Amino acid sequence: MKRVFNFSAGPSVLPLPVLEKAAAEMYDVNGTGQSAMEISHRANDFMPIIEKAENLLRELMGIPVNYKVLFLQGGASLQFSMVPMNIANYAGAGKKAAYIDTGVWAEKAAKEAAKFTAVDVRAGSKDRSYTYIPAAPAAESDDAYYHITLNNTIVGTRWAEIPDTGSTPLVADISSCALSEPLDVSKFGILYAGAQKNLGPAGVTIVVIREDLIGHAPPQTPAMLRYDIHAQEGSLYNTPPCYGIYMVGLVLEWLRNLGGIPAIAGLNQEKAALFYQYLESSKLFYSPVEKPFRSLMNIPFIVKLEDPQKRTELEKRFIQEAAAAGLVNLAGHRLVGGMRASIYNAMPIEGVQALIQFMEKFESN
């Protein structure tokens, strides 16, 4: 078996024990004589699978009882639309929604919301290429909700402090940092994430929503896009991504056995510190992100060369040689170029050490 160190931003590395368990259970899960892929979502045999995923998520994230957990489809991108479609009318019409523009995904979320409600982009960091997180202006009395992107996958920034929006529901895209460090769920109205980074395979989207925010969609809202329908039906309004939900359960079980969020947060701090320390000391590579806002999950880095053409050539060579050495998917997002190491929960510290060793060698050559 060949395994590489996979630094992809998503879909991304999954814990090997999870893949091994999934392989061992491929033909017969829980003694049912069926693969988790073959079981009807209406069958009793599916119930332990979806309940396991939900219960572990509740336990690990400390989700309060007045929140629903939904397993949906359409990725985080569909939540860019579902959030405004469902809660722009929360507590009365004629309101606006506040968005903080901290990167491409945040900007997309705001653009999508503007199709359904008035959007006020209250602050942003585009002026310095999104390399920092701006101060969060206060919520206003006619904000229906307040949206942030907790970790910005492309530029590699993270909100180190959660803004206090008072009674205005705070909505956060946690796609690239879910379960990476402690998060006080009670500070949020809605949390959403595509699973394909820290939670499992692509195809499942997780939504954690406070109950009082459910039930405000206008009547013409399609059934598939209504939180109330999915909540009433326990995420079984239609066929859910059954196998993906099963995989999320296995990933969460792995995380619990490791010691849960406190344990993984410690490891994530250690991995990120190691890599940023190396970047600080390097004469060839550097992090473009301002220090207080650096992500623990996605670490972009660039070559220190003035000439853009030489820089791009060297970066290309780096990415190719790294891949040949078993360190794959290190190219930065196509919009920003450079390199990026995504070091999600499932990336072992050995992967970060191997990357640093390779970079040191490349630098000395």
Residue 146 C-beta: closest distance to ligand PMP, Å: 17
Minimum distance of ligand PMP from residue 197's CB (angstroms): 7
Q: Is 197 a catalytic residue?
A: yes
Contacts of 95 (CB under 8 A, 6+ apart): 88, 89, 117, 118, 142, 143, 144
Is position 241 an interface residue for ligand PMP (rule: CB under 6 A)?
no
173 binds ligand PMP (CB under 6 A): yes
Check 105, 143, 254, 271 and give the catalytic one.
Answer: 105
In the bound state with ligand PMP, the residue whose beta carbon lies nearer, of 152 and 287, is 152
Is 75 a binding residue for ligand PMP by CB under 6 A? The answer is yes
Q: Is 149 a binder of ligand PMP (CB under 6 A)?
A: yes
Of these residues, 143, 197, 254, 271, which one is catalytic?
Answer: 197
120 catalytic? Reply is no
If the CB atoms of residues 10 and 244 are measured against ligand PMP, the closer one turns out to be 10
Annotated catalytic, 173? yes
Task: Check whether the bond before 348 is cis (ω within 30° of 0).
Answer: no
Rounded distance between C-alpha atoms, residue 176 and residue 161, angstroms: 16
Site for ligand PMP in 176-235 (CB under 6 A): 176, 194
Q: Render 28-77 in DSSP notation, one character per residue.
A: -STTSSS-TTTS-TTSGGGHHHHHHHHHHHHHHHT--TTEEEEEESSHHH
Contact 183, 264 (CB under 8 A): no
- Name the minimum Å distance from CB 205 to ligand PMP: 7
Does residue 153 interact with ligand PMP by CB under 6 A?
Answer: yes
Total Cβ atoms within 10 A of residue 19: 15
Give 79 or 165: the residue with its C-beta nearer to ligand PMP.
Answer: 79
Distance CA 159, CA 150 (A): 5
Residue 10 is a binding residue for ligand PMP (CB under 6 A): yes
130 and 149 in contact (C-beta within 8 Å)? no
Question: Can you give the binding site for ligand PMP, defined by CB under 6 A?
Answer: 9-10, 75-77, 105, 149, 153, 173, 175-176, 194
